[in-house]
Chains A and B, each alone.
Chain A
Amino acid sequence: MSEQEIILGCLQNDYNCQKALFDKYSGVLLTICRRYFNDSSLAEDALQDGFIRIFNKIDQFKFEGSFEGWMKRITVNICLRKLQNENRKFDWSEIHHVKENAVNPVVDSDLNEEEILRLISKLPNGYRTVFNMYALDGFSHKEIAAKLGITDSTSRSQLVKARNMLQKMILDLYEE
């Protein structure tokens, strides 16, 4: 079943097509949710809500651009909304005037995906959210600031702190 057939089937609320879409993309979308939540049950809740939104809004997909990208964007938005609803306290401790290239990370490309997810999950909520949005989901600092209700500089500082922390964790991993 092609992606287009699946989408058309989902538009008709066809059970088999909905299930096919879920089987095909749920793993990838769950990875996104796991990046934002360090609690697996919260990540699964976000995935669940994300798919419900996708199925309910699939008629708004105009077959322009990547369908997977459209789903990912919905999932990220769901994660952000859930984070806000959860009233999670972000660590917005400021490190102002930090240059983005102040960190020169060393990353071992042999780190597998689960190890990377584990490292990200160890970040404080604020660091993790900004790092995910900027480094992995392509948001600009301006967009991040607007979505999270913070300043651009705070977003930049959070990103730097996240990278530094990740770098340190990776180095610690080597030393072990």
Chain B
Amino acid sequence: MRNNLDKIFDEKLNAYSSHVSENIWSNIHMNLPQHSANRNKRWIFLLLLFIGVSIAGSLIYYYKQFQNNSSADESIVQAVEQNFAGSLLKPTANSVETNIGLGHKETVQTDQSNHNLTGNPVSGPKSGRGVGLVLGESDLLEDRTISFTENIDDESSTNEQGAETLASTIQNKRFADKRTLLMTPADLGRRSTFVYSNQTVRRSKSKTLGDCFEEASELYFISFNVSMDYPFRSLFSANIGEIQNYIVNRENTESGLVSFSAGITGGYIHPRGWKAETGIQYTQLNEKFLFVKENVIKIQTQITIDTMYNGDGTYTIHRDTTSIEVLGFEEMKTSNHYKMLDIPLIFGYNFYFKNIGIEANAGFIFNVASSSSGRIFNPDLIPSYYGKKTNGSFLPYRMRFGTSFYGSLSLKTTIKGHTQFYFEPNARYYLRSFSSSSNPVNQKYFVLGLSSGIRYYF
């Protein structure tokens, strides 16, 4: 039974409105599903679009780098064989024995694709009779490797002049085109002293209570994230005077490429906004090695077959073999990769502004395993492979790249229920040099990245 005191208290307090602090609304809104259904769909679309672009971009880069790596590795001898296999010699129209002269393996390149070598003819010792085509470019081998000289009445009378004219025309055109492509090492890599490295990821927190405030005071989450990164590298040494030339050559031949990282993490968020997070993450830093070696000589061999008809209706086949030395340059292009398996340990703090959640993060990323592969100058300034292709002969980098410091600022929004989507500009600084004792310079990395991901709260 209610008495007078109850009634008066009830009347007084029933409609009484207490003063409410502004930050209460911020905290509430942070934990609510936002936006209309259409807006949710838009976020999902943007999320899928971003993830798709990220994956496609990574695959394209990786594929291109893989291609470059493979092409630089081909045997020159093999390239010559392939060229002739597809040439006009193959049909053996006149059943002529085919002789192919090969030059020194390191200097000769009769390449079909023609992107490694070019140059000018410097000499052309002829042998035999007939027409020798002086070809400056291997494309010509495919088109006009063999010139047929027909001589019906007079064995010495051939259409050699016409053939030479044709060859000259093609040759001039080819070399005219080629000159525009000639490059020197100096043209190629005038880049910054710093190269790049890769990045990381972080995720963020925010509590999404929903119905679960009974348990009340803490939230757990799991995050998936992908990050596009760009590495910035620095080379330095205590004995800078002695290896200045080495550092300059490294900087002129190496440059950063878009890199990436991806991971899965879990964490805990205190209702006051503090967050702790850890998980596992894969990181790959990419760089490009591009070096042009000048004054490379290749030797090309052309075979000319003459069919001369005799007066009695028979004919004679003559073969003319010509070797040509071509001076040019060789382009060495390789993708360098630094791959890491990491364990991040990140701490953060959450707050809310309007309908956007903001999370500041900082922490360390511990490297568990690392590997590197690619090609750089060795201390003798010779381009050398390292990693899988070296059998351990050249090991310029450590087996583990060590701990790095991580910082980020995450912007997030609720897309549905307990699920959030976030963008996270981030920076990662590697505390240790990547270099091993066999590397004359210290090599450190600073990585800027933009990660995105999804976080689900339990």
Closest A residue to B39 using CB positions: A13
Q: Which of B1, B20, B209, B211 has a CB less than 8 Å from the CB of A101?
A: B1
A107 within 8 A of B: yes
Query: Which chain B residues border A158 with CB–CB below 8 Å?
Result: none
Contact status of A12 and B28, CB under 8 A, knowing A47-B20, A85-B216:
no
A31 touches B13 (CB 8 A): yes
B16 touches A113 (CB 8 A): yes
B2 within 8 A of A: yes
Interface size of A by CB at 8 A reads: 48
**Contacting residues of chain A (94-109) with chain B, CB-CB under 8 angstroms:** 100-101, 103-105, 107, 109
B5 touches A163 (CB 8 A): yes
Interface string of A21-40 (1 = CB under 8 A from B): 01000111011001100000
B19 within 8 A of A: yes
Q: Which of B17, B18, B213, B216 has a CB less than 8 Å from the CB of A53?
A: B213
A111 touches B32 (CB 8 A): no
Q: Please measure, in the bound complex, the distance between the C-alpha atom of A111 and the C-alpha atom of B369, giving whole angstroms.
A: 71
B213 touches A52 (CB 8 A): yes
- Choose among A19, A26, A82 the residue with the greatest number of B CB atoms under 10 Å from its CB: A26
B33 within 8 A of A: yes
Closest B residue to A84 using CB positions: B214
Q: Please measure, in the bound complex, the distance between the C-alpha atom of A35 and the C-alpha atom of B34, giving whole angstroms.
A: 31
B353 within 8 A of A: no
A13 touches B36 (CB 8 A): yes
Query: Which chain A residues border B2 with CB–CB below 8 Å?
Result: 134-135
B5 touches A105 (CB 8 A): yes
Closest 9 pairs between A and B when the two form their complex, measured CB to CB: A27-B17, A135-B6, A105-B5, A30-B18, A113-B16, A49-B213, A26-B20, A31-B18, A107-B8
B291 to chain A, nearest CB (A): 57
Q: Please measure, in the bound complex, the distance between the C-alpha atom of A14 and the C-alpha atom of B36, giving whole angstroms.
A: 6
Q: Which of A30, A100, A104, A117 has a CB less than 8 Å from the CB of B20?
A: A30
**Contacting residues of chain A (39-53) with chain B, CB-CB under 8 angstroms:** 44-45, 47-49, 51-53
The interface of chain A, by Cβ under 8 A from chain B, is 12-15, 18-19, 22, 26-28, 30-31, 34-35, 44-45, 47-49, 51-53, 55-57, 78, 81-82, 85, 100-101, 103-105, 107, 109, 111-113, 116-117, 120, 134-136, 163, 166-167
Closest A residue to B28 using CB positions: A51
Give the interface SS of chain B, mostly helix, strand, loop or mixed. loop
The interface of chain B, by Cβ under 8 A from chain A, is 1-6, 8-10, 12-21, 24-25, 27-29, 31-37, 209-211, 213-217, 271, 355
B37 touches A12 (CB 8 A): yes
B33 to chain A, nearest CB (A): 5
Closest A residue to B354 using CB positions: A15
Query: Which chain A residues border B216 with CB–CB below 8 Å?
Result: 49, 82, 85
Contact sample, A vs B, 10 pairs, CB 8 Å cutoff: A13-B33, A19-B25, A26-B25, A27-B16, A31-B17, A48-B24, A48-B27, A52-B31, A85-B214, A136-B13
A100 touches B1 (CB 8 A): yes
B35 touches A15 (CB 8 A): yes
B12 touches A49 (CB 8 A): no
Closest A residue to B25 using CB positions: A22
